[in-house]
């Protein structure tokens, strides 16, 4: 079951593909039939749906049994029957109140890129206020600043690159302060952009001596670019130059010919194309489809001192992420986050990123609905993978307890509980295996994985 | 004679400005080469790519945008988007606070050091080492210890404006004419009274010159500091518009920073004239 599926749909296929079997994917099927219920708009209805879903799941923990029940009586009858003997109304009210937040006025920092979409949109689109919070989202100048301001408690929580909370917790490039990640912001949504003059240099083997920019040392961008280069036989430490450059300065540097390309967060990639200085060489999803990028992070101290505020914040983020994961909402989101108060970028650029229909900078229009996607679940296997790359490139020296660090920083258990309460269906395990450029990663054997790479920093 | 010189200087200024604007306009008007592209592709691209428009805005673009800003300088669209008037207000507030704190510390301290040759010699090495440090180098240390970005910005202003004032006060106090001090001593004037009625008026022009140098430096530094810590202020405005690659707004901000800096300098210059007496 995927996270955002409707458990009242008896026809929903439990395997991949579509329900009726005539379409390749569920999305295609939905487009073809287009008879599915619209997302419920009103807040009360939403909660009712959430609570009813949770009760339904609790009554029929097994998918097959629930399906049979729904088939025989129909969804509306089932709901009516449920409300007969279960006080759905009361339960909904209780759920909506769910622990008064200790602190209502919160500050959340963000970097103006589309990765922060759920954090940003939750303010103008009312997701924070729906969960009883008054959140001020504050634009911040760079990753180091957002780290320092969160450590200083100027921000209660913040948008961070997915490896940053791990690095902070381990004391890499900062004092060791325990941080935690309750939700991943976005998956995919990055890209390798090359300067327009390199149009004919599409083979990475010809990239020796080029200068590339990455947003931060502890970033998925750094690890993905290094991985990509190494898979093509280039040693990222000796064959090319990698520079940490704040995202906004990347386009200007590309124009000024100071760098040859970058692996950067979106809207920056699309902005370079929009301004005619570069072209999209490759979407990051072609390196690893479904890779995490940015995370929503808070210090352990905030979580223990204000658990209800933290839970409400996480609920709001998960809620916003769920909304953002639906393709039909993306245009509206692009308009909501484009103004100067938020990302401050042209709407067309954000629309191209979020809808996945974009100009590639070479004269073509490409479509990839999953160019950026949103899924909040903080897979601990993601954290283990990042740790293996930190080890591979010499950011961590010595032995690493991969599992312990991953479990301490990526709060899969808590988020799972929260998502279940919200009527979503989180995955059963916090570890999954995935493939990066065709090479399978087994989260149970991180040491072997690190050792399997020929190109890595000799330590 | 003087009025005609003024008139001529004014005319030359206007001519220079007109020439500058004219060259700017011509330089940015030209359009670059444009590749042919399909209409649906062009719809997704910016003006630089589709019409070959120069990435640098011309004076007309800047003028129009400036008028837009000046018409509503105090709008507030939330924490990350405020009018230019509000942003300038934040910056001036920070500079004012840090600067006043520096005045409160530097002038009394400078007096003490200037009046005592022993202290002057003993503290000299410290001042010499601390003075040339770029104020922004203090930023990480300040952020780390103070744990508050806006107070850190004020601290950076404080630390950068203290040295010129301190040194000028020391110098001014130490170089008061010996005759005046001796006369005061002959008339058996007490130390406190001597400090306020003889030394202070004599050293005031030098002290105010130090203050004038300081306010200039403080205004230079605040923009950089705000670009670093973000949040509010004219420096943040520059950073935010840089983020959107809006060179037009960056140019407007540069213009306003220059004007405010000039006004601050003029105010201090007027004070200096007030305390300067021809001997």
For residues A96 and A445, give the distance between their C-alpha atoms in angstroms, rounded to a whole number.
42
Nearest to B228 among A145, A344, A364 (CB): A145
Query: For residue A102, how many other CB atoms are within 10 A of its CB?
Result: 12
pLDDT higher than threshold 90 for residue B19: yes
Q: pTM for the complete prediction?
A: 0.78
Question: Comparing A26-30, A165-169, B257-261, B268-272, which segment has the lowest mean pLDDT?
Answer: A26-30
Q: Where are the beta strands (DSSP E) in A245-284?
A: 261-265, 278-283
Residue A1: pLDDT band by 50, 70, 90 thresholds?
Answer: very low
Q: CA Rg, chain A, in Å?
A: 22
pLDDT value of residue B178: 86
Q: CB of A126 within 8 Å of any CB in chain B?
A: no
Q: CB of A366 within 8 Å of any CB in chain B?
A: no
Residue A54: pLDDT band by 50, 70, 90 thresholds?
Answer: low
pLDDT value of residue B270: 92
Please state the rounded mean pLDDT for residues A98-120. Answer: 88
pLDDT higher than threshold 90 for residue B262: yes
pLDDT value of residue A84: 64
Nearest to B153 by CA among B70, B215, B235, B36: B235
For residues A212 and A261, give the distance between their C-alpha atoms in angstroms, rounded to a whole number.
5
Question: Comparing A51-60, B116-125, B197-206, which segment has the lowest mean pLDDT?
Answer: A51-60
SS3 labels along B168-208:
HHHHHHHCCCHHHHHHHHHCCCCHHHHHHHHHHHHHHHHHH
pLDDT value of residue A11: 61
Q: CB of B48 within 8 Å of any CB in chain A?
A: yes
> A154 to chain B nearest CA, in Å?
7
Adjacent-strand bridge partners of A188: A372
Please state the rounded mean pLDDT for residues A4-17. Answer: 58
- Quick: pLDDT tens for A247-279: 878 888 898 889 999 999 988 999 999 988 899
- Greater pLDDT, B268 or B243: B268
pLDDT value of residue B70: 87
Contact yes or no for B79 and A138 at CB 8 A:
yes
pLDDT higher than threshold 50 for residue B228: yes
On average, the pLDDT of chain A sits at 83
pLDDT higher than threshold 80 for residue A27: no
Q: CB of A275 within 8 Å of any CB in chain B?
A: yes
Please state the rounded mean pLDDT for residues A340-354. Answer: 89
pLDDT value of residue B36: 72
Q: CB of B97 within 8 Å of any CB in chain A?
A: no
Give me the total of CB pairs closer than 8 Å, taking one residue from chain A and one from chain B.
99
CB A290 within 8 A of CB A434: yes
The half-sphere exposure of A226 on its side-chain side, counting CA atoms within 13 A, is: 27
Q: Where are the beta strands (DSSP E) in A17-156?
A: 105-110, 134-139
pLDDT > 70: what percent of chain B?
A: 96
pLDDT value of residue B210: 92
pLDDT higher than threshold 70 for residue A13: no
> A344 to chain B nearest CA, in Å?
6
Please state the rounded mean pLDDT for residues B58-73. Answer: 87
CA-CA-CA-CA torsion sign (B177, B178, B184, B187): negative
Contact yes or no for B243 and A137 at CB 8 A:
no
A229-235: long-range contacts, CB 8 A cutoff, minimum separation 24? A229/A204, A230/A453, A230/A454, A230/A455, A230/A456, A231/A437, A232/A203, A232/A204, A232/A205, A232/A207, A233/A205, A233/A455, A234/A204, A234/A205, A234/A207, A234/A208, A234/A455, A235/A455
| A contacts of B72 (beta carbons < 8 Å) | none
Pairing of strands A357-359, A187-188: unpaired
Please name the residues in contact with B187: beta carbons below 8 A apart, sequence gap of 6 or more: none
| A contacts of B48 (beta carbons < 8 Å) | 275-276
The interface pTM score, or ipTM, of the predicted complex is 0.74
Q: Which two tokens stand for residue A12?
A: 């929903």
Query: For residue A399, how many other CB atoms are within 10 A of its CB?
Result: 8
Nearest to A264 by CA among A274, A252, A250: A250
Please name the residues in contact with B262: beta carbons below 8 A apart, sequence gap of 6 or more: none
- Greater pLDDT, A8 or A368: A368
- Quick: pLDDT tens for A294-338: 999 999 999 999 989 999 999 999 999 999 998 899 999 999 999
Contact yes or no for B45 and A139 at CB 8 A:
no
pLDDT higher than threshold 50 for residue A37: no
pLDDT value of residue A266: 87
| Residue in chain B nearest A142 by alpha carbon | B228
- Quick: pLDDT tens for A121-168: 999 999 999 988 999 999 888 888 888 889 888 899 999 999 999 999
pLDDT value of residue B133: 87
pLDDT value of residue A198: 92
pLDDT value of residue A128: 92
| B contacts of A148 (beta carbons < 8 Å) | 143-144, 149
- Greater pLDDT, B33 or B225: B225
For residues B64 and A271, give the distance between their C-alpha atoms in angstroms, rounded to a whole number.
24
| B contacts of A140 (beta carbons < 8 Å) | 230
Compute CA A285 distance to the chain's CA centroid, rounded to the nearest angstrom: 12
Residue A25: pLDDT band by 50, 70, 90 thresholds?
Answer: low
pLDDT value of residue A93: 53
Pairing of strands A294-299, A179-184: antiparallel
Mutation for A interface: B47, B80, B86, most A CBs within 10 A: B80
Pairing of strands A211-214, A261-265: parallel
Q: Which two tokens stand for residue A127?
A: 């997701």
pLDDT higher than threshold 60 for residue A18: no
Residue B18: pLDDT band by 50, 70, 90 thresholds?
Answer: very high
On average, the pLDDT of chain B sits at 87
| B contacts of A344 (beta carbons < 8 Å) | 80-81, 240-241, 243-244
pLDDT higher than threshold 90 for residue A8: no
pLDDT higher than threshold 70 for residue B32: no
Pairing of strands A190-195, A278-283: antiparallel
Please state the rounded mean pLDDT for residues A198-215. Answer: 91
Residue A33: pLDDT band by 50, 70, 90 thresholds?
Answer: very low
For chain B, report the end-to-end CA distance as a whole number of angstroms.
27
Q: CB of A173 within 8 Å of any CB in chain B?
A: no
Residue A39: pLDDT band by 50, 70, 90 thresholds?
Answer: very low
């Amino acid at each position: 079951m995927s996270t955002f599926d409707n458990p009242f749909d008896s026809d929903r296929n439990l395997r991949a593909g579509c329900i009726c079997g005539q379409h390749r994917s569920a999305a295609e099927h939905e487009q073809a039939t287009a008879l599915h219920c619209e997302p419920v708009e009103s807040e009360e209805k939403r909660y009712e749906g959430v609570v009813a879903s949770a009760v339904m799941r609790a009554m029929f923990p097994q998918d097959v049994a629930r399906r049979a029940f729904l088939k025989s009586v129909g969804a509306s009858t089932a709901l009516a029957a449920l409300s007969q003997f279960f006080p759905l109304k009361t339960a909904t009210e209780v759920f909506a109140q769910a622990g008064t937040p200790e602190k209502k006025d919160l500050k959340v920092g963000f970097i103006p890129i589309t990765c922060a979409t759920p954090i940003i949109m939750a303010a103008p689109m009312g997701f924070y206020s729906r969960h009883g919070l008054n959140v001020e989202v504050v634009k911040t100048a760079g990753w180091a600043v957002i780290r320092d301001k969160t450590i200083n408690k100027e921000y209660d929580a913040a948008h961070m690159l997915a490896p940053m909370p791990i690095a902070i917790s381990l004391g890499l490039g900062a004092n060791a302060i325990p941080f935690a990640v309750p939700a991943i912001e976005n998956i995919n949504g990055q890209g390798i952009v090359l300067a327009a003059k390199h149009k004919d240099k599409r083979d990475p083997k010809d990239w020796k001596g080029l200068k590339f920019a990455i947003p931060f040392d502890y970033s998925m961008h750094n690890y993905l670019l290094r991985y990509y280069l190494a898979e093509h036989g280039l040693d990222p430490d000796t064959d090319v130059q990698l520079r940490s450059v704040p995202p906004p300065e990347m386009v200007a540097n590309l124009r000024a010919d100071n760098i040859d390309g970058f692996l950067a967060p979106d809207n920056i990639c699309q902005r370079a194309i929009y301004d005619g200085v570069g072209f999209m060489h490759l979407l990051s999803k072609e390196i690893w489809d479904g890779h995490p990028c940015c995370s929503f992070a808070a210090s352990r101290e905030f979580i223990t001192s204000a658990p209800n505020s933290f839970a409400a914040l996480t609920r709001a983020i998960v809620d916003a992420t769920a909304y953002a994961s639906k393709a039909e909402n993306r245009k509206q989101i692009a308009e909501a986050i484009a103004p100067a108060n938020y990302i401050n970028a042209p709407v067309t650029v954000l629309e191209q990123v979020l809808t996945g229909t974009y100009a590639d900078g070479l004269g073509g229009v490409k479509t990839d609905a999953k160019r950026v996607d949103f899924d909040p679940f903080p897979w601990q296997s993601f954290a283990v993978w990042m740790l293996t790359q930190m080890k591979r490139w010499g950011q961590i020296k010595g032995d690493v307890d991969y599992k312990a660090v991953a479990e301490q920083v990526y709060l899969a258990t808590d988020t799972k509980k929260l998502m279940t309460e919200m009527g979503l269906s989180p995955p059963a395990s916090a570890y999954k295996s995935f493939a990066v450029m065709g090479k399978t990663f087994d989260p149970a054997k991180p040491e072997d994985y690190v050792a399997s790479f020929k190109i890595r920093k000799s330590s | 004679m003087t009025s005609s010189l003024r008139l001529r200087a004014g005319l030359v200024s206007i001519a220079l400005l007109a020439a500058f604007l004219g060259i700017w306009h011509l330089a940015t008007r030209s359009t670059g080469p444009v590749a042919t592209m399909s209409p649906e592709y062009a719809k997704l691209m910016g003006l630089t790519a589709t019409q070959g428009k120069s990435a640098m805005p011309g004076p007309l673009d800047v003028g129009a945008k400036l008028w837009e800003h000046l018409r509503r300088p105090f709008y507030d669209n939330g924490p990350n988007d405020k009018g230019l008037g509000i942003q300038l207000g934040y910056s001036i507030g920070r500079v004012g606070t840090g600067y006043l704190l520096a005045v409160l510390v530097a002038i009394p301290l400078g007096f003490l050091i200037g009046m005592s040759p022993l202290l002057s010699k003993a503290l000299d090495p410290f001042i010499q080492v601390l003075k040339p440090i770029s104020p922004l180098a203090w930023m990480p240390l300040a952020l780390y210890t103070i744990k508050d970005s806006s107070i850190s910005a004020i601290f950076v202003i404080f630390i950068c404006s203290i040295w010129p004032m301190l040194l000028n006060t020391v110098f001014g106090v130490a170089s008061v004419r010996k005759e005046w001090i001796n006369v005061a001593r002959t008339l058996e004037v007490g130390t406190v009274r001597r400090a306020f009625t003889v030394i202070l008026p004599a050293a005031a022009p030098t002290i105010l010159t130090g203050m004038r140098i300081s306010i200039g430096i403080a205004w230079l530094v605040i923009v950089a500091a705000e670009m670093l810590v973000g949040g509010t202020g004219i420096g943040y405005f520059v950073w935010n518009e840089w983020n959107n690659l809006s060179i037009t707004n960056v140019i407007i901000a540069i213009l306003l920073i220059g004007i405010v800096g000039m006004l601050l300098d003029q105010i201090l210059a007027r004070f200096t004239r007030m305390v300067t007496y021809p001997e």
